[in-house]
Amino acid sequence: MSDEVDSKTAGSSSASASETRRSTRSRPTKNTSSQPRQTAKVSSQKREEGEIRTSKVTGVKEKEESQHRTKQLSKTRQESDQDEPTFEIIVLGSGGGPLETDCSGYLVKATKSSWEDGILAVEGGSGLGALASILSDPQTSASTIFPDLKFPPNHNTPLLQASHIFSFLACYLITHAHLDHVGSLIMLSGSVPARAVEHHQAPTTSISPSKTMNQHTNKQPDHPRPHVYGTRITLEQLSQAYQGGLWPELGSWVPNREGEDKQNHNNSRKKRKVEGKGKIGGEDNLVNSPDGTVQGTEENYNSCLIFSPLSTERVHRPLHPTLPISLLTYPIAHGCTTKHTYESSAMFIRYDPSALTETPPSSRSSTSTSRKTNGHVRPGREFLFFGDVESSFRKKGEEHIDTARAKEAKELNETVWKEASTSWKQGRLCGIFLECSYDSSRPAHLMFGHLSPPGLYYELQTLAGLVSKSEKRPLDGLKVFIIHIKASLVPHPTGKTTREIIMSELKDLEKEGQLGVEFIETNRGDRIGTLLQVPVKASTKRLILTFASGYISDIKFEAQVYTNGDLGHK
């Protein structure tokens, strides 16, 4: 199609130039005297006409290229109507505190995989207890949140059902080490339930975690040891909780992953010699210090979680061998301490079947039933998940506040948005999970490395500018899931909640800015499917079946929900 468009553009340009030349040749001359002056005048005319002609041709070409890109993206979206959701996401908690019952926590799996194949927990602020609480609500029962999962007969309480689901936990993915993002992870360390022996749901393409032998006792560990993935600095901060004072010494480290910059963690201590090739996430070469040193022996193999630093390379890499997911991570700024800028992360989480390395054992289970599918899932779809992040945006009159940190935030965020713009233009970006902790009344010096609606919209305008400088609604159809809203503990003069104020402000900004984005409030108990698709409204009858949220009684059937495999509430 691009060749056809180019040929049309060339033809149009040639025709335009030819018409202009004919017009120039046939134009009569009023005065033939004073030849030098007339020649200069004609030359000037020709230059001006040439500039106009070039400008017209360039304008036509840019317009046709813009229309071509729009048509291509529209075609991609139309084709995706027949696709299934790329991911399924259960929201265990979406708040930013101070309520410990609603902190950041999301269970993620590829749609083509079963929950039994392995679960990715994005953030660990809310976890097992939050899921048990969600399942105890009739509106968000296990049959509603996990409609395809069959529970063992003796798992007949919300806690036991939540425990059964967490037995499929493959790994955590952490954006930063603040307690509202890791609190539940720490509490669950050492208590992660063992995986059920018999599988009850058919998988498709993923595998269960490998069993590893203890080299000292030649026995398999009698407890699960989920991997915890994050940047090295995040995991070093998290590991401080496992020094025996705040929490028992339950963590171990894997050796440096291939591609990591080893210069960042050189240490004078003697490092353990790792024998064998070892694989990413391999548990046979564990060490219990972030720099690769050995501090003790037996406790390495009795650990209850494994710190696995992410690669610093700017390429998608497989996350965990049991999941069809690859990851690309970027550092972002989240305020500062008395010593330095506090680092958080933005992560592109991509559906990538090639990331799998083994056949799922559950596919060999005689008790499994086939999973029905109505379409296909496109490899390469991804969503962008931000940890806590600050913006370079400053309101009028606050431009002078912390200019150095604003400059740093701008540079870091633009790097993420450049990657996001490429993903969006290629039709891969499903949606964005982005924090908005405070409303617009919050002053800059009290933001503490977070976003408010004006700052959030400023960031999206940056993305829109990278996508296109001229198109109207350059982010048309992009769904932005608003997370990490901090609940207010005092009543607002308007009587509205913080969530209501923030969502209203965001919608007002979009009404004026017309980027084409759609803001979706993310709530505890939501079941979200992700796919690049224009949202459709559902009838009130379909609403009961598709909208699984603890707040369903509050919306009175007025909410817009998303069905047919789109990136919205299912």
At 176-193, the pLDDT tens digits run 999 999 999 999 998 888
- What pLDDT score was predicted for residue 413? 97
Rounded average pLDDT over 31-35: 48
> For residue 199, is pLDDT > 50?
no
Query: CA angle 103-108-112, nearest 5°?
Result: 165
The pLDDT tens digits for 316-331 are: 999 999 899 999 999 9
Rounded average pLDDT over 229-238: 96
CA distance 193 to 190: 9
Cβ–Cβ < 8 Å for 377, 351: yes
| Strand runs labelled E in 220-379 | 227-230, 251-253, 305-309, 317-318, 325-336, 341-351
More confident residue, 322 or 299: 322
Cβ–Cβ < 8 Å for 382, 296: no
Rounded average pLDDT over 84-98: 91
Rounded average pLDDT over 399-404: 92
CA distance 551 to 546: 13
The pLDDT tens digits for 39-57 are: 555 555 655 555 555 555 5
Report for 183-192, 224-233, 516-525: range of highest mean pLDDT: 516-525
> For residue 404, is pLDDT > 70?
yes
Q: Are strands 527-530 and 87-93 parallel, antiparallel or unpaired?
A: antiparallel
> For residue 5, is pLDDT > 90?
no
More confident residue, 381 or 370: 381
- What pLDDT score was predicted for residue 450? 96
Phi-psi region of 454 (alpha: psi -120 to 50; beta: other; left: phi over 0): alpha
More confident residue, 561 or 341: 341
Q: Are strands 429-435 and 382-386 parallel, antiparallel or unpaired?
A: parallel
347: which 2 tokens?
Answer: 């992560």
pLDDT tier for residue 83 given thresholds of 50, 70 and 90: low
User: Over the range 390-413, which residues count as b (16 or more CB within 10 Å of their CB) and which as e?
Assistant: bbbbbeeeeeeebeebbebbbebb
Count of H-run helices and E-run strands, the chain: 13, 16
Query: CA angle 15-19-25, nearest 5°?
Result: 145
- What pLDDT score was predicted for residue 222? 58
> For residue 334, is pLDDT > 70?
yes
- What pLDDT score was predicted for residue 406? 93
> For residue 311, is pLDDT > 50?
yes
- Which pTM does this prediction carry? 0.74
Give strand pairing partners of 384: 348, 432
CA distance 239 to 9: 59
> For residue 125, is pLDDT > 80?
yes
Residue with tokens 């503490």: 448
Cβ–Cβ < 8 Å for 480, 518: yes
% of the chain at pLDDT higher than 90: 52
> For residue 495, is pLDDT > 90?
yes
